[in-house]
A and B are shown apart, each in its own frame.
Chain A
Amino acid sequence: MADTIIFQSLPARPAPIKTEGLIPWIRSNLFGSWQSSLTTVIVAGLLLYFLPQFFNWAVLTATTNNNADACRADGVGACWGVIKEKYRLILFGRYPFEEQWRPLVATLLMVGLVVASCTRVFWNKWLGVLWVVVLAGYFVLMSGGVMGLSKVTTDRWGGLPLTIMLTTISLVLAFPLALLVALGRRSHLPAIRSFCTIYVELIRGVPLISVLFMASFMFPLFMPQGVTIDVLIRVLAGITLFAAAYMAEVIRGGLQAMPKGQSEAAASLGLSYWQTQFKIILPQALAMVVPGIMNNFISLFKDTSLVTIVSMYELTGSLGLALNSDADWRPYKLEGYLFITGIYFAFCFAMSRYSLWIEKQVNKSKLR
């Protein structure tokens, strides 16, 4: 005779500990184990020690009075007055004071143009025309000499307008050059392949500063007697050649990742070499390397700060120009540095966020 087993339900288990919300997050992320708790205590302790000090210096005891005596008083922290006093010199360099609305308008135009080129609405055939118009407007505004604007020579251009102009123009010129060089490095023609390889390896092997030295000291020797080229153009050419070599390597990475079937299919459809490259290979290869190209753009923006070593006063250089010769304000250079650090950071950070967005855009085809 078999025992009948009567089903009895187990007592209900206790409700699980809450796993969402602030307190569980703190419990698992800050005090997960004893090592983690110890780390939290040490790191938080250091932060609590240093951050209030910085905050005290930068905000609480800081002064925004643009009077050097007020900054020298006891117990005064950061002296933001130096920015208030010198911001026009820092932002516009040696550009004539009364005319500084011109670089302001020109730079706003150019930034507007770049931002427009980055948004989907403007991706149509008129964009090229817009570029030509805005660039022409930029140079008319900056150098003047027409329409009643007084002439301003390029050695007086400086500050943020110069930084943004150097970045934008060299970027626009470097990109097509990089495309050609990248294609050239994968060409079947040995002469073209070796020229492109030598160019890329040579440029990537030397620092930008030596290229800039070459542009500013050696280039005058290269030109025939009587021909002089403005130093701005020379430096622009140097930066462009430098940036193009790095960009070409990134693009080549994309080209190499393309499966061979793509170009074979294009060939069997009877497309020519250039049709194959521009209609089949490059659109796919470039989409793959968008993050790399954006990184190139960001480093190009940062690299423009190097032109200050060959005596062009872009943002970094114009800060030195503004403060080095002024004994009253010289001690507050740190505040000035923090100011332009903020500017550089804002631009670079915006670019890197944009890079994430555009990466998502070009990968849409892969997300079904």
Chain B
Amino acid sequence: MAVAPRTPPKKRDWSWRSQAFRGLLYQIIAVLLIGGAAWFLAHNTAENMRIRGIQGGFDFLKSPAGFDIGESLFHFDSNDPYWKAFAVGVSNTLRVAIIGIILTTILGTLIGVGRFSRNGLVRGLCQAYVELFRNVPVLLQLLMWYLLFTELLPEIADARHIGPFFLSKGGLSFPVPEWSSSHYFTMLGGLIGLGAAWWWRGRTQKRFEETGQLGSMFLIPAAIIIAAALAGWVAGGMPTTWIVPKKGEFAVEGGGSLTPEFMAVLMGLVLYTAAFVAEVVRSGIQSVARGQSEAAQALGLSRGQEMQKILLPQALRVIIPPMTNQYLNLTKNSSLAVAIGYPDVVSISNTALNQTGRAVECIAIIMLVYLTTSLSTSFFMNWYNAKSAIRER
């Protein structure tokens, strides 16, 4: 007697006790809570601003700022509007961040590699550097450098100088070439040289892949660029005038100059972040399998070649993500410049906030600037990371 197979009872996939329902419930509660909190805060803010008579909005950006800024890449005076003051702040932040990132990468990599040196003294010194600089707050280091640059250097009147370089409480002055239109030729030559160097590198790479012959990937391209720039300079009529700083009565006049604030911020950020970058580089190199370095030695590569051609390229893949974090940290830490009066975007916003009382808008501008910089840096580094990742099948 055949029993008709019973179909199992149909499972209800939607019930009060199902996971899907509870998930939905939790999410609704979360959205309501966060939305409610946001509404509460926004409502209070609007209410408070109405009672205290604070006006909102970004219209103040067009009114004259009424304060001077110590250093800026372009002309600014107190009649210029607020938005221009913020632009000066952003440019100052970017200036210190970009130069800082370049210097930190160089110094940090040198120190990180130095911890693998065969020389015990270099090894010890690099380790001592890392331990010392990363265990002291960066703000304290900035304040110390600022103190050194403003109190312990000689007065402007008897500035210390080596050749055309002057160093004093007023900052560092150095000669710059006088700008003339013929410098455009030099720049043009440099650009052409860059293109030619790119082409040369591509050709060398291709030849290496086809025939196995090694060619110069750095020295000859560098020579091409320099030669092209020189040729452009000659074609432009060889302008040789430099603006050399001279010691005036109250200040060192002429030439380019760096303020003590800028130098203190740069120095503090670079030395602090380099300690972290050194650790990143060290752990990256350590992550390369030991067999790689033994194989390099077996092939008879020198210690320098081994580091440059075997270890660093492989370590780079491990290094890039944490290195991105360090770059972002440096950029964000540049906001501490407000403590020593370097006019970065935080410092300008702080002044604007005190003058106009528009706390919400000024802090929003700070956050926006840093968010944009952070996100764009991490996009760039993600792209670079994807580019240098191992291409697997």
The residues of A with any CB-CB pair to B shorter than 8 Å are: 25-26, 28-30, 32-33, 36, 39-40, 43-44, 188-192, 195, 202, 204-210, 213-214, 217-218, 220-225, 298, 302-303, 305-306, 308-309, 316, 331, 333-334, 337, 340-341, 344-345, 348-349, 352
Contact of A43 among B121, B136, B148 (CB under 8 A): B121
Q: Are A349 and B131 in contact (CB under 8 A)?
A: yes
Is B244 in contact with chain A by the CB < 8 A criterion?
Answer: no
| Cα of A254 to Cα of B179 in the assembled complex, Å | 56
Chain A residue contacts of B34, Cβ below 8 A:
195
Q: For residue A351, which residue of chain B has the nearest CB?
A: B135
Q: Mark B335-359, 1 if CB is under 8 A from A, else 0.
A: 1101100000010001001000001
| Cα of A154 to Cα of B339 in the assembled complex, Å | 23
Chain B residue contacts of A40, Cβ below 8 A:
119, 121
Centre residue among B49, B137, B346 by max chain A CB count within 10 A:
B137
Q: Are A29 and B140 in contact (CB under 8 A)?
A: no
Contact of B366 among A206, A224, A298, A308 (CB under 8 A): A206
Chain A residue contacts of B135, Cβ below 8 A:
298, 302, 344-345, 348-349, 352
Q: Are B151 and A333 in contact (CB under 8 A)?
A: yes
- With A43-B125, A204-B374, A218-B360 in contact, do A210 and B136 touch (Cβ < 8 Å)? no
| Cα of A205 to Cα of B328 in the assembled complex, Å | 8
> A326 → chain B, closest Cβ, in Å?
15
> B131 → chain A, closest Cβ, in Å?
7
Contact of A191 among B27, B332, B363 (CB under 8 A): B27
Q: Are B121 and A337 in contact (CB under 8 A)?
A: no
Chain A residue contacts of B336, Cβ below 8 A:
207, 209, 306, 309
Q: For residue B360, which residue of chain A has the nearest CB?
A: A218
Q: Are B371 and A192 in contact (CB under 8 A)?
A: no
Q: For residue A330, which residue of chain B has the nearest CB?
A: B151
| Cα of A352 to Cα of B135 in the assembled complex, Å | 9
- With A189-B26, A349-B135 in contact, do A224 and B119 touch (Cβ < 8 Å)? no
| Cα of A32 to Cα of B375 in the assembled complex, Å | 47
Q: Are B45 and A222 in contact (CB under 8 A)?
A: yes
Q: Are B335 and A209 in contact (CB under 8 A)?
A: yes
Contact of B30 among A29, A192, A204, A316 (CB under 8 A): A192
Closest 3 A/B residue pairs (Cβ): A29-B120, A348-B135, A207-B332
> B147 → chain A, closest Cβ, in Å?
6
Q: Are A305 and B139 in contact (CB under 8 A)?
A: yes
Given contacts A188-B23, A205-B374, A298-B135, 10 further A-B contacts (CB under 8 A): A43-B121, A43-B122, A210-B346, A222-B45, A306-B336, A334-B148, A337-B140, A337-B143, A341-B144, A349-B135
Q: Are B140 and A206 in contact (CB under 8 A)?
A: no
> B305 → chain A, closest Cβ, in Å?
13
Q: Total A-B pairs in contact (CB under 8 Å)? A: 153
| Cα of A43 to Cα of B148 in the assembled complex, Å | 24
- With A206-B366, A221-B44 in contact, do A30 and B143 touch (Cβ < 8 Å)? no
Contact of A29 among B45, B119, B147, B360 (CB under 8 A): B119
Centre residue among B135, B332, B333 by max chain A CB count within 10 A:
B135
Q: Are A218 and B359 in contact (CB under 8 A)?
A: yes
| Cα of A195 to Cα of B333 in the assembled complex, Å | 26
> B347 → chain A, closest Cβ, in Å?
10
Q: Are B339 and A205 in contact (CB under 8 A)?
A: no
Main secondary structure of the interface of B (DSSP, over half): helix
Q: Are A206 and B139 in contact (CB under 8 A)?
A: no
Main secondary structure of the interface of A (DSSP, over half): helix
Q: For residue A218, which residue of chain B has the nearest CB?
A: B359
Q: Are B23 and A189 in contact (CB under 8 A)?
A: yes
Centre residue among A207, A218, A337, A340 by max chain B CB count within 10 A:
A207
Contact count band on B:
35 or more
Chain B residue contacts of A25, Cβ below 8 A:
120
| Cα of A213 to Cα of B134 in the assembled complex, Å | 25
| Cα of A223 to Cα of B359 in the assembled complex, Å | 15
- With A221-B49, A221-B359, A345-B135 in contact, do A334 and B120 touch (Cβ < 8 Å)? no
Q: Are A222 and B41 in contact (CB under 8 A)?
A: yes
Q: For residue A192, which residue of chain B has the nearest CB?
A: B30
> B190 → chain A, closest Cβ, in Å?
34
Chain A residue contacts of B47, Cβ below 8 A:
224-225
Q: Are A210 and B335 in contact (CB under 8 A)?
A: yes
- With A191-B30, A316-B137 in contact, do A218 and B363 touch (Cβ < 8 Å)? yes
Chain A residue contacts of B48, Cβ below 8 A:
220-221, 223, 225
B 19-42 contacts with A by CB, 8 A = 23, 26-27, 30-31, 34, 41
Q: Mark B118-155, 1 if CB is under 8 A from A, else 0.
A: 11111101000001101111111001100110011000
| Cα of A298 to Cα of B152 in the assembled complex, Å | 31
Contact of B138 among A202, A302, A340 (CB under 8 A): A302
Contact of B136 among A39, A221, A348 (CB under 8 A): A348
Is B83 in contact with chain A by the CB < 8 A criterion?
Answer: no
> A354 → chain B, closest Cβ, in Å?
13
Contact of B119 among A32, A213, A340, A345 (CB under 8 A): A32
Contact of A189 among B27, B144, B328, B338 (CB under 8 A): B27
- With A188-B23, A218-B360, A306-B139 in contact, do A210 and B367 touch (Cβ < 8 Å)? yes
Is B51 in contact with chain A by the CB < 8 A criterion?
Answer: yes
Q: Are B371 and A190 in contact (CB under 8 A)?
A: no
Contact of A309 among B41, B123, B134, B339 (CB under 8 A): B339
- With A188-B23, A218-B360 in contact, do A206 and B370 touch (Cβ < 8 Å)? yes
Chain B residue contacts of A204, Cβ below 8 A:
328, 374
Q: Are B333 and A213 in contact (CB under 8 A)?
A: no
Residue contacts A-B, CB under 8 angstroms, 30 given: A26-B120, A29-B119, A29-B123, A40-B121, A43-B122, A44-B121, A188-B23, A189-B26, A192-B30, A195-B30, A206-B332, A206-B367, A213-B353, A217-B359, A221-B44, A221-B48, A221-B360, A222-B44, A225-B51, A302-B137, A305-B139, A309-B139, A309-B339, A316-B140, A334-B144, A334-B147, A334-B151, A341-B144, A345-B132, A348-B134
Q: Are A205 and B118 in contact (CB under 8 A)?
A: no
| Cα of A344 to Cα of B23 in the assembled complex, Å | 46
Chain A residue contacts of B332, Cβ below 8 A:
206-208
Centre residue among A26, A206, A340 by max chain B CB count within 10 A:
A206
Q: Are A217 and B363 in contact (CB under 8 A)?
A: yes
- With A29-B120, A225-B48 in contact, do A340 and B140 touch (Cβ < 8 Å)? yes
> A201 → chain B, closest Cβ, in Å?
8
